[in-house]
Amino acid sequence: MAEAQRIGVLTGGGDAPGLNPAIKGLVYRASELGIEVLGLYDGWRSMLDPLTEPLLLDRGKVRRWDRDGGTNLGSSRTNPFRTVSEEGVRVDRSPEVVANIEKLGLDAIVACGGEDTLGVAARLSERGVSVVGIPKTIDKDLAGTDYTLGFDTALRNVTEVIERSRTPAGSHGWVQVIEVMGRHAGHLALWSGVAGQADLILIPEHPFRYEKIYHHLKDRLGDTIGYPRDSERPRYSVIVVAEGAYAEDGELITVDDRHDAFGHARLGGIGEVLARRIMSETPYEARSAMLGHPQRGGTPSPTDRIMGLMFGSFAADAVANGDFGKLVSARGVAPACDLSLVSISSVLGQINTVDVDRYYDTERYHLKGIGM
């Protein structure tokens, strides 16, 4: 295999803190290995015609990127294998991507993303494109790795909101429902709920029962909230619900009927449904907050910076070694972390969800072993 001299890096799917540190790690290590790195804008979209001029990334350019949240290269949910023309016809534009990779003289692409972005990478790899993947998603639902960039920062962000929600909920005496992202995986909801000490945590991996929630609320709050009150009892409750959670007798709630280029609907709305049900079926007041995209916002946490730098640097080595079609994978999280490469195609088509038997108390709707 010819030694790679020039590579492109792109970030696809939802943005996540940790991507810019990963790019810095890649560029720094690549510069030591004599590899030139071009930044490709807006995920796979930049590789479609008309070709967007890439950004030459050198050490000076990315020196401060470790502190930046989001992605300085921009992102999109473009699927070149499934675009829609102006006439509404589905078109496979992947040949344009392959041609443009050649046109830019790229020996390899480093794709930072989750299941979708890496799925494109794997299919391009089958067409002879040299790719290396870096795992990223606040959902932490990618198989084959213990860590995906963005998770730790999102955990921090959500935990802070849970914490801040206590004062209004306590002052007014209501049940605060907080809806957290994560698609069909409950990692973000579960661990932020534990860190923020929510009373109940509802995750997609275990459909919940409304009656059980009401029962827990009664246990905690008594028959009413407000004055006069029993000073021993809390005046409020916080429930964290994952956007992908659903009731045993209910269904997934989506924002609307639209689907993205990878066939995903936008999940969202279960928090409001739950708050309304609590208000109509119990004596308690309830409010819901859908945290939305700011969960992914802000500067990367120390863990996301470290993991990003390590992932990026490891990807540069993979390129130098001609280890293509592979994803950088972490066993453990820094500082107790080992990196290796796994085949991208081996991690696709399965999602990493919460191990309910190990972590989730299906009676208490909480972390096993931590009674609230």
Catalytic (active-site) positions: 139
- Cα distances from 363 to residues 145, 229, 244, in angstroms, run 29, 28, 19
**Which is nearer to ligand F6P, 130 or 192 (by Cβ)?**
192
Binding status of residue 266 toward ligand F6P by CB under 6 A: yes
Given a contact cutoff of 8 angstroms between Cβ atoms, the answer to whether 54 and 8 are in contact is: yes
Task: Show the site string, 121-160: x = touches ligand F6P by CB under 6 A, - = not.
Answer: ----------------xxx---------------------
Please measure the distance between the N-terminal and C-terminal CA atoms of the chain and give it in whole angstroms.
58
Q: How far is the CB of 266 from ligand F6P (least distance, A)?
A: 5
Number of residue whose CB is nearest ligand F6P:
181
**Which is nearer to ligand F6P, 287 or 296 (by Cβ)?**
296
Beta strand pairing call for 131-135 and 108-113: parallel
Structure tokens at 243: 């956007």
Applying CB under 6 A, the span of 36-44, 180-188, 328-336, 362-370 interacting with ligand F6P comes to 180-188
- Cα distances from 106 to residues 77, 86, 285, in angstroms, run 22, 30, 59
Q: Which of 108, 132, 221, 267 is the binder for ligand F6P (CB under 6 A)?
A: 267
How many Å apart are CA 274 and CA 277, to the nearest integer? Answer: 5
- Cα distances from 352 to residues 137, 203, 325, in angstroms, run 12, 13, 20
How many Å apart are CA 127 and CA 129, to the nearest integer? Answer: 6
Q: At what angle do helices 302-320 and 19-33 cross, to 10 degrees?
A: 40
Tell which positions 58-97 bind ligand F6P, by CB under 6 A: 77
Q: How far is the CB of 216 from ligand F6P (least distance, A)?
A: 26
Q: How far is the CB of 155 from ligand F6P (least distance, A)?
A: 13
Structure tokens at 171: 């002052």
Binding status of residue 181 toward ligand F6P by CB under 6 A: yes
Residue type, 24: K
Task: Show the site string, 217-256: x = touches ligand F6P by CB under 6 A, - = not.
Answer: --------------------------x-------------
**Which is nearer to ligand F6P, 101 or 111 (by Cβ)?**
111
Nearest to 264 by CA among 46, 96, 117, 88: 117
Q: How far is the CB of 296 from ligand F6P (least distance, A)?
A: 6
Annotate 22-42 with b (16+ C-beta within 10 A) or e (fewer): bbbbbbbbbbeeebbbbbbbb
Structure tokens at 263: 């066939």
Q: Give the Cβ contact number of residue 280 at 10 Å.
A: 8
**Which is nearer to ligand F6P, 162 or 181 (by Cβ)?**
181
Q: How far is the CB of 264 from ligand F6P (least distance, A)?
A: 8
Tell which positions 275-334 bind ligand F6P, by CB under 6 A: 296
Binding status of residue 14 toward ligand F6P by CB under 6 A: yes
How many Å apart are CA 11 and CA 118, to the nearest integer? Answer: 10
**Which is nearer to ligand F6P, 151 or 174 (by Cβ)?**
151
Binding status of residue 12 toward ligand F6P by CB under 6 A: no
Binding status of residue 113 toward ligand F6P by CB under 6 A: no
**Which is nearer to ligand F6P, 96 or 304 (by Cβ)?**
304
Q: Give the Cβ contact number of residue 273 at 10 Å.
A: 18
Applying CB under 6 A, the span of 95-103, 175-183, 229-237, 362-370 interacting with ligand F6P comes to 175-183
Beta strand pairing call for 237-242 and 200-202: parallel
Applying CB under 6 A, the span of 93-101, 179-187, 217-225, 312-320 interacting with ligand F6P comes to 179-187
Given a contact cutoff of 8 angstroms between Cβ atoms, the answer to whether 132 and 323 are in contact is: yes
How many Å apart are CA 246 and CA 237, to the nearest integer? Answer: 20
Q: How far is the CB of 77 from ligand F6P (least distance, A)?
A: 6
**Which is nearer to ligand F6P, 185 or 319 (by Cβ)?**
185
Structure tokens at 239: 């429930």
Interface residues toward ligand F6P, by CB under 6 A: 14, 77, 137-139, 181-183, 243, 266-267, 296
